[in-house]
Structure 1
Amino acid sequence: LCMWIREQLGALSRTQGSYDLRVHQLTLPEDLDRVISGVEKRATQSGFGEKEKISLSALFPDPQLRNFARERMQILHRGDLHSYLSALVAKERESLTGNSATIMDLIHICEHKLAMRNAEVTKRFLVGETDLWIQPWALGIEVRTTWEPENETELLSILSDTNFRLRARHLVVVVPDDLSDELFDLIRVVEKREVINNLSIIRIGDFGKYLDEIKGAEEANG
């Protein structure tokens, strides 16, 4: 089962660049026994003869890495899948709720919430423009995981250029839910100055509500 999960996570990494289990959920197949049997068969069909023995020392010359591999093997061989899976889930939870949250984590959540509202991302990561651009709503989305006052000039430049080049009707800066209130108040100063009058600065937890308001306004305006 763990090998199957690894394959699914590997596929997500290749197709998404990163993954978030709260967004890219894994669904167990109905014919789980057959799937596991297939994984076991592939795992035993290596290119080595049945009698050939390969030591961990040959595979992992580094002692620290070798000890880590041995520990993982022991967990799997004892059948303690619960601990292994719990560790995977804990890692994903930490990446989203802890200080290690990345820009890609937030962007994936934004993309998921957009997809739930049938809003297609038209552009991604163009120099001098917001991280995401949604053409039908003329919406630019910029993601920040932290804030320093010296970042303001750069942020205003990106937002202003997006306004000028793409004629944005809506601009939003999205930050993590766990960004401190002090930093959140500092970055919101940019919005309150009203230098850019179509700008909102919000936490990721409020992003869905924000999109619903934008969608409603766009539909009302035809």
Structure 2
Amino acid sequence: MQLDVVQYLHDFMAHVMPYQKEIWHAIGETFVMVGISIAAALCLGLPVGTLLFLCRKGQLYENRAVFSIVNGLVNIIRSFPFLLLVVAMIPITRMIVGTSLGTVAAAVPLSVVAIATYSRLVEQSLLEVPKEVIEAASSMGASTLQLIIKFLYVEARSGLTLGLTTSTISFISYSTVMGIVGGGGVGDFAIRYGYQRFENELMVFTIIVMIILVQSIQFGGSLAARLLDKRRA
């Protein structure tokens, strides 16, 4: 039995090793797409989510018009089927990066989804901040920027971290279908080399890679969130 397992693993790796260059290239493409989307989520999704929170009914800067517009856009993007969004954004992608094909081009629609997804999670995390914190900041004469950075983000840092972790895993999932616009990545490798060539070993290997990647991100994000949890300090 043990010899059979060893032989199976030997045969399995014999099928995989000739493609190691392509595998590493695909992993690199996935990292580029996901990395750009994470940057977009932090640079734009975080402020958008904060704006949604501040403009909500009953909050410090309540503004029904602004909230309705931003909230509507976020809802539309989040409810849009991802593949259709990728195709619909081809003209916009071509305008931004000069082409609609390639890894960087694929990161454009992925970034749009990232902004919408993380902004909603940011809003939810900030809603969990006790109102007393905002009242205390206002009574101390804190400016809007100070209120956001030194009070809201500090109180919600654990939730924001978990939200980013969840979003990152979603971005990885979305990136697997970016082969339709030449984005490459692990998913595209699995389809082209595994599924279309009937190389089941390559399919299994890419699934294992994705599982390891997702589990590592989830573990790291959960650990960071626990360490940042003010309630546990």
The interval holding the TM-score normalised by the smaller chain is under 0.3
TM-score of the superposed pair, with normalisation by structure 2: 0.25
Bigger share in strand: 1
TM-score of the superposed pair, with normalisation by structure 1: 0.26
Larger Rg over CA atoms:
1
